[in-house]
Amino acid sequence: MTTPRALALAAAAGLVAAVLAFAVITAVDGDDERGGAGQAASAQDANGRELFFQMGCGSCHRFRDAGSTGVIGPDLDERLAAYDRTTLRETIVNPPGSSAGSFSVMPDNFEARMSPEALDSLVGYLLAARAGPG
């Protein structure tokens, strides 16, 4: 005769095994629809993804990882390969065409709208989630 305690222990052991199996599969499977770039791994990158939406980036930029289809600004899936952390941050803070006497569609006030940590999170997300070559 099986006791309720034995059933509960068996169910708990099965649940633990399923969670561990899921964790291992998730950790090992780095290839996804972004061409093997892998999931944004850190909490900082997750915050950066949220900032991408909060700052309205997707309304102008196409970016596969975020599911955005904007057409006003450059396609980030094509452009991000050319950037490193420093050059991307500089482009966000001082977009091309934002100097005095010129016009830029991209807002030039992100440095005022976001803390330095938030800007770092956004840049980290974009670089981690950018499409791989090809």
Instruction: Summarize pLDDT for 20-47 with one digit per residue, the tens.
Output: 333 333 333 333 444 444 444 467 678 9
At residue 4, φ and ψ (nearest 5 deg) are -60, -35
Query: Residue 11 is encoded by which pair of tokens?
Result: 């169910």
Element (H, E) at 56: none
Instruction: Summarize pLDDT for 69-83 with one digit per residue, the tens.
Output: 999 999 999 999 999
Contact status, residue 133 vs residue 35, Cβ threshold 8 Å: yes
3-state class of 69 per DSSP? Answer: strand
* Mean pLDDT of the chain, nearest integer: 75
The third-level CATH classification (topology) of the domain covering 42-129 is: Cytochrome Bc1 Complex; Chain D, domain 2 (1.10.760)
CA–CA gap between residue 15 and residue 7 (Å, rounded): 12
Q: What is the gyration radius of the CA atoms in the chain, in angstroms?
A: 21
Average pLDDT over residues 91-106: 85
Instruction: Summarize pLDDT for 15-24 with one digit per residue, the tens.
Output: 434 333 333 3
Distances (CA, A) of 111 to 58, 61, 107, 120: 18, 19, 10, 11
Query: Residue 130 is encoded by which pair of tokens?
Result: 């950018």
Taking the domains of the chain in order of start, what are their residue ranges?
1-30, 42-129
